[in-house]
Structure 1
Amino acid sequence: MTLEILYQDDWLVAVNKPSGWLVHRSWLDRDEKVVVMQTVRDQIGQHVFTVHRLDRPTSGVLLLGLSSEAGRRLSRQFEQHEIQKRYHAITRGWLEGTDVLDYPLIEEMDKIADKFSRQDKVAQPAVTEYRGLATVEMPVPVGRYDTARYSLVELLPKTGRKHQLRRHMVHLRHPIIGDTKHGDLRQNRGAAEHFGCNRLMLHASQLALIHPFTGKPLVINAGLDKSWMQALSHFGWQGILKENERVEFVSGGSQDGCDCETTRG
């Protein structure tokens, strides 16, 4: 299987990571054969360097360096929050309006990998800007109600904590559909059965950054998979994401009137 390449130049490559794919091999999943890094390496014929990660069930823009220097520069931009990440999610219930959630999170520990790590860690700052784009009420009984309510939400994480978006949505009582670790299992089953939401409905739609070598603004967009398109069709939300697409650069000004490169998946 080949991956969709969203952008490539002499220094960087970006792909549309499918849901269910690991970014790189782990000793916890040593038998996993479907891995993004190795697939991209074989596909373009050169080594790649990871600079950020997406959780296995999350899809969307994944940026990689084509040299150790490119990887170092990109990693620094991520660490200094100079790269804007835009996600979209389908959540339980009606989430409307725009707000910023500043809610610290205690680092989640893995039972095996973090077996000997300190268990008394303090909560770390975690900030997410969110905006409700659309809501719907479907005549399908899920749980104790005769109907099921869902929201299409835009999420802009300002920090990068583990499972931050999933945990922040749970804190707001609007868990992301398909979240088997933090979400509502009955809602997950209902959405999968009736609307084809058979994955975590969280997608990394866009990365906006200043190119670390050319100095020009770069916007990389990733298209949606079949499960997402099916859900948007069921809920009557076709075209909403395109209508609400926007770019606000951390540095270098806004997209309007700037010399920027935009890619679309």
Structure 2
Amino acid sequence: MELEILYQDDALIAVNKPAGMLVHRSWLDSHETVFVVQTLRDQIGQHVFPLHRLDRPTSGVLLFGLSSEVAALMMPVFAGREMHKTYHAVVRGWVKEAAVLDYPLKVMLDKIADKKATEDKEPQAAVTAYAPLATVETDIAVGRYATSRYSLIELQPETGRKHQLRRHMHHLDHHMIGDVNYGDGKHNRMFRENLDCHRLMLHASRLQFIHPLTGAALDIRADVDDVWQRVMTTFNWSPSLLLNA
């Protein structure tokens, strides 16, 4: 397969990562053979250096450096507040107003990489701005309710904790659709059976930052996939809701 290239120059390249594709090899998925890093390297004929990560089920903008020097220059950009990330998600329930959630998250340790680390660390600061874009009420019964309600939301994380957006929405009881770790199985099943939606409805739509070499302001956007488009059409949500982010 070929990855959709969203931006490329002599220093950086960005692709639209498909949902379900790992960024690089992982002991957690040792049986997998297809990864973004290797696929992109083979596609453009040179090594690439991941500058951040997206979880396997998340789609959207994924940025790479084309040299270790550029990767080093970009590290403080991602570590600080100079990188502006915009995500979109479909969640259960009606999100009625925009807000900022400041809710610290417990450190999630890797079973192998962090096996010698202590598990009694203090929760880390985690801040997410979110806003509702559209809502819908369907006549499909889920659980004890005769209808089901969902929201399309925009999220902008101000910190970068593991699974931050999914965990924050879980905390607010607006579980992301398709989230098998923190979501609601009844609603996930409704989307699978009625909308043929078998993915996490979380998409990294946009990255905005200053180019480390040229000083130019970059604004890189990624379109949603067919599954997203089908859900949007079914709920009569206009594609412009995502484009106007």
TM category (shorter chain) comes to over 0.9
1:27-38 correspondence runs (5 A) = 27-38=27-38
TM-score, normalised with respect to structure 1: 0.90
Q: Is the 8 A contact 1:14 1:62 kept in 2?
A: yes
Q: CA RMSD in A?
A: 1.2
Q: Deviations over 1:71-125 (max 9, x none)?
A: 1111220011211000000000000211100000001233444333211111000
Q: Deviations over 1:237-258 (max 9, x none)?
A: 022424532xxxxxxxxxxxxx
User: Match of 2:134?
Assistant: 134
Q: CA distance change for structure 1 residues 185 and 122 in 2, over 3 Å: closer, same or farther?
A: same
User: Match of 1:255?
Assistant: none
User: How far apart are 1:57 and its partner, in Å?
Assistant: 0.3
Q: Is the 8 A contact 1:96 1:133 kept in 2?
A: no
User: Match of 1:259?
Assistant: none
Give aligned-pair identity as a percent.
Answer: 59
Rounded to whole Å, the distance in 2 between the matches of 1:208 and 1:40 is: 22
Q: Deviations over 1:51-79 (max 9, x none)?
A: 10000000000000000111111122001
User: Match of 1:171?
Assistant: 171
Q: Deviations over 1:103-155 (max 9, x none)?
A: 00001233444333211111000000000000000000111111110000000
The one-letter code sitting in structure 2 at the alignment partner of 1:67 is: S
Rounded to whole Å, the distance in 2 between the matches of 1:242 and 1:198 is: 21
User: Match of 1:65?
Assistant: 65
1:35-114 correspondence runs (5 A) = 35-114=35-114
1:154 counterpart SS class: strand
1:129 counterpart SS class: strand
Rounded to whole Å, the distance in 2 between the matches of 1:89 and 1:65 is: 27
Q: Is the 8 A contact 1:196 1:231 kept in 2?
A: no
Q: Is the 8 A contact 2:136 2:149 kept in 1?
A: yes
User: How far apart are 1:231 and its partner, in Å?
Assistant: 0.3
User: Match of 2:213?
Assistant: 213
Q: Is the 8 A contact 1:86 1:206 kept in 2?
A: yes
Residues 1:19 and 2:19 are matched in the alignment:
yes
The answer to which of 76-85 and 21-30 deviates more is 21-30
Give runs of ≥4 in structure 1 deviating > 4 Å: none
Corresponding residue pairs, total: 245
Residues 1:226 and 2:197 are matched in the alignment:
no
1:231 counterpart SS class: helix
Q: Is the 8 A contact 2:85 2:207 kept in 1?
A: yes
Rounded to whole Å, the distance in 1 between the matches of 2:211 and 2:111 is: 38
